[in-house]
Amino acid sequence: MTGNTPIRAPITLTDMFGGFPLAYGVFAVAAVVFSLFNFGSSVASTTPVYARWLDASQPFTDAAASFVPAVDSATAFLEKHRDFLEEHHRLYWIPAVRNVLSINFALLLFFPSCFAVATCIDLFRDPERALNNVDAVSKRLKAPINQIILRCAICLLLFLMPVYFDFGTTSDPFLTGFTVTILYYVIVFGANGLLLFITIYLVISLAIIRLGLHPERKGRAAPD
């Protein structure tokens, strides 16, 4: 307490995922895979093993580039600086950046999809505990779920869409170093991924409440 004003404790992942054990497991696996891939790419970028990985995954990278504008945009940016890259023995950046962007966008599609399925399973396995937890989170944040979802959606539009479409060169790599580029992508994709997970978690929970799919919740007022 500070005077008469209570200090509100921050919302933690444990608070959010109480009643969602399967969804939390998917989230944890996604975080581990995302971290290992990105930091592994940074550490191994100059090794023969990584070169073989780039060759083996090139068909996937090219396929991803067909529906992710940022991949070709980042490639075009590096091609414009090809002389600089060649002078500093960094031509491997071109396939490496394409690979990192493609895989990160693929992870951003795959794991949230798995998370959505896991969230639905958790809700149907233990609906009362899971949905009570969502209500508690909403009360802790002192905002209705609808409002929290809207804020998350706005943030995704502001921060994810520019990266996807490469508005303002937001997906272009840094020429100062490959590790700097990886750290930038970790921040960008990590933050957007977290927002996407939270949005899915709230949207599905709210949809289940609104549709009255669980008898335990019938007759109870849904959050605004």
Question: Is residue 1 a part of any domain in this protein?
Answer: no
DSSP 166: T
Assigned domain for 8 exists: no
Full residue range of the structural domain in which residue 87 is found: 19-217
Q: What is the mean pLDDT of residues 9-31?
A: 79
pLDDT classification of 140: cutoffs 50, 70, 90:
confident
Q: Residue 141: what residue type?
A: L
Cα–Cα distance measured from residue 77 to residue 10, given in angstroms and rounded to the nearest whole number: 41
Residues facing 5 on adjacent strands: 2
Q: How many domains does the chain have?
A: 1
Is 6 inside a domain boundary? Answer: no
**Amino acid symbol at 204:** I
CB count within 10 Å of CB 28 equals 12
What's the predicted TM-score (pTM) here?
Answer: 0.83
Spatial distance between the Cα atoms of 55 and 35, rounded to a whole number of angstroms? 22
In a domain, 11, yes or no: no
Nearest to 189 by CA among 9, 25, 31: 31
The reply to whether 14 falls in a domain is no
Query: Which one, of 140, 158, 138, lies nearest residue 202 by Cα?
Result: 138
Mean pLDDT of 169-185: 91
Q: Is the pLDDT of residue 186 over 90?
A: yes
